[in-house]
A and B are shown apart, each in its own frame.
Chain A
Amino acid sequence: MSLPHHNARAREEILSRLRRASPPFPSTTADSKPSLVVTRASPDEDWVQRFITEAERARAMVHRVSNDEEGRAVLRELLTRLGARRAITWDMAHIPLAGVDAVLEELGIERVQGDNVTVATADVGITGVDWALATTGTLVLHAGPGKPRMASLLPPYHLAILRAGRILPRLEDYFALQRAADLRPLRESSNVTLITGSSATSDIEQQPVRGAHGPLELHIVLLTP
Chain B
Amino acid sequence: MQALQFKQAVIRALHDAQLQTALDRGTTRGVNHRLAAMSATTDAAALRHQARLARERALNQLPALLEQLERNVLANGGHVLWARDGDELNRLVLELCQKHAVRRVVKGKSMVTEESELNHALAQAGIEVVESDLGEYIIQLAGERPSHIIAPMLHKTKEATAELLHRKLGMPLTDRPEEMVRFVRGVMRTKYLEADMGISGVNFAIAETGTIATVENEGNNRLSTSAPRVHVAVMGIEKVIATWEDYAILVQLLARSATGQQLSVYNNLMTGPRRPDEPDGPDHFYLIILDNGRGRIYQTEYAESLACIRCGACLNACPVYQNIGGHAYGWVYPGPIGSIITPLLRGLTQAPSLPFASSLCGACQSACPVEIAIPDMLLKLRRDLVQSAGNASLGWRLAMLLWRLGMTSPLLYRLGAALAGALTRLLAGRSGTIRQLPPPLNGWTYSRDFPAFSKGTFRERYRRRAQHAALRSHDHEPATSQRTRP
Residues of A within 8 A of B (CB): 1, 3, 7, 10-11, 13-15, 17-21, 23-26, 28-30, 32-40, 54, 58, 113, 116-117, 119-120, 135-138, 143-150, 153-154, 171-172, 175, 178-179, 183, 186-207, 209, 211-215
Beyond A191-B268, A196-B264, A206-B26, whether A212 also contacts B153 by CB under 8 A is: no
Contact with A along B133-160 (1 / 0, CB 8 A): 1110010000000000001111011100
A212 touches B249 (CB 8 A): no
B244 touches A203 (CB 8 A): no
Q: State which of B135, B185, B218, B244 has its C-beta within 8 Å of the C-beta of A175.
A: B244
CA distance A132 to B185 in the complex (A): 28
Query: Besides A39-B42, A135-B262, A186-B244, 13 other CB < 8 A contacts?
Result: A7-B92, A11-B82, A17-B296, A17-B298, A24-B56, A24-B59, A143-B280, A149-B281, A190-B272, A194-B266, A203-B138, A205-B29, A205-B177
CA distance A28 to B193 in the complex (A): 47
* Contacting residues of chain B (262-311) with chain A, CB-CB under 8 angstroms: 262-275, 277-281, 285, 289, 291, 295-296, 298-299, 303-304, 306
Q: How many A-B residue pairs have CB under 8 A?
A: 284
> Which among A175, A193, A204 has the highest number of chain B CB atoms within 10 Å?
A204
A33 touches B151 (CB 8 A): no
B432 CB to nearest chain A CB (Å): 45
CB-defined contacts of A136 to chain B, threshold 8 Å: 252, 262-263
CA distance A162 to B88 in the complex (A): 47
B221-229, B382-390, B463-471 - interface stretch: B221-229
CA distance A137 to B264 in the complex (A): 11
Q: State which of B67, B151, B152, B268 has its C-beta within 8 Å of the C-beta of A15.
A: B67
CA distance A143 to B161 in the complex (A): 37
CA distance A216 to B38 in the complex (A): 28
Q: State which of A36, A148, A202 has its C-beta within 8 Å of the C-beta of B280.
A: A148
A214 touches B223 (CB 8 A): yes
CB-defined contacts of A137 to chain B, threshold 8 Å: 262
CB-defined contacts of A1 to chain B, threshold 8 Å: 79
CA distance A41 to B322 in the complex (A): 38
Q: State which of A33, A187, A190, A205 has its C-beta within 8 Å of the C-beta of B157.
A: A205
A197 touches B248 (CB 8 A): no
A-B contact pairs, 24 of them (CB 8 A): A34-B245, A37-B43, A37-B50, A38-B41, A38-B252, A40-B42, A58-B265, A116-B193, A116-B280, A136-B262, A149-B222, A150-B226, A171-B263, A186-B209, A190-B270, A190-B271, A190-B274, A190-B281, A190-B285, A196-B264, A204-B161, A212-B181, A213-B132, A214-B222
CB-defined contacts of B180 to chain A, threshold 8 Å: 204
CB-defined contacts of A21 to chain B, threshold 8 Å: 298-299, 303
CB-defined contacts of A19 to chain B, threshold 8 Å: 63
CB-defined contacts of B414 to chain A, threshold 8 Å: none
Whether, in the assembled complex, B30 has its beta carbon less than 8 Å from a beta carbon of chain A, the answer is yes
Whether, in the assembled complex, B346 has its beta carbon less than 8 Å from a beta carbon of chain A, the answer is no
B53 touches A200 (CB 8 A): no
B304 touches A18 (CB 8 A): no
CA distance A147 to B278 in the complex (A): 7
CA distance A201 to B132 in the complex (A): 12
CB-defined contacts of B266 to chain A, threshold 8 Å: 193-196, 199, 214
CB-defined contacts of A197 to chain B, threshold 8 Å: 265
CB-defined contacts of A15 to chain B, threshold 8 Å: 63, 66-67
Beyond A120-B193, A187-B209, whether A202 also contacts B217 by CB under 8 A is: yes
CB-defined contacts of B54 to chain A, threshold 8 Å: 34
A195 touches B269 (CB 8 A): no
A24 touches B60 (CB 8 A): yes
CA distance A3 to B262 in the complex (A): 40
Please give me the residue from chain B that is nearest to A17 by CB atom: B295
Whether, in the assembled complex, B220 has its beta carbon less than 8 Å from a beta carbon of chain A, the answer is yes
> Which among A20, A33, A188 has the highest number of chain B CB atoms within 10 Å?
A33
B278 CB to nearest chain A CB (Å): 6
CA distance A215 to B219 in the complex (A): 8
Q: State which of B25, B217, B244, B263 has its C-beta within 8 Å of the C-beta of A138.
A: B263
Q: State which of B61, B84, B134, B253 has its C-beta within 8 Å of the C-beta of A10.
A: B84
CA distance A136 to B262 in the complex (A): 6
A106 CB to nearest chain B CB (Å): 25
Q: State which of B82, B138, B261, B277 has its C-beta within 8 Å of the C-beta of A145.
A: B277
CB-defined contacts of B218 to chain A, threshold 8 Å: 199-201, 212-214
CB-defined contacts of A178 to chain B, threshold 8 Å: 244
B440 CB to nearest chain A CB (Å): 42
Contact with A along B237-251 (1 / 0, CB 8 A): 100000011111101
CB-defined contacts of A172 to chain B, threshold 8 Å: 245, 248
Whether, in the assembled complex, B189 has its beta carbon less than 8 Å from a beta carbon of chain A, the answer is yes
B158 touches A205 (CB 8 A): yes
CB-defined contacts of A193 to chain B, threshold 8 Å: 222, 266-269
CA distance A34 to B61 in the complex (A): 16
* Contacting residues of chain B (69-97) with chain A, CB-CB under 8 angstroms: 76, 79, 81-84, 88, 92
B220 touches A212 (CB 8 A): yes
Please give me the residue from chain A that is nearest to B270 by CB atom: A191
> Which among A15, A23, A195 has the highest number of chain B CB atoms within 10 Å?
A15
> Which among B26, B79, B156, B188 has the highest number of chain A CB atoms within 10 Å?
B26
CA distance A209 to B209 in the complex (A): 35
A7 touches B217 (CB 8 A): no
CA distance A147 to B280 in the complex (A): 9
CA distance A37 to B54 in the complex (A): 13
Beyond A202-B217, A206-B30, A213-B220, whether A196 also contacts B261 by CB under 8 A is: yes
Closest 5 CB pairs of A and B: A214-B219, A203-B135, A24-B303, A212-B218, A206-B29
B185 touches A213 (CB 8 A): yes
B181 touches A201 (CB 8 A): yes
CA distance A205 to B135 in the complex (A): 10
A191 touches B281 (CB 8 A): yes
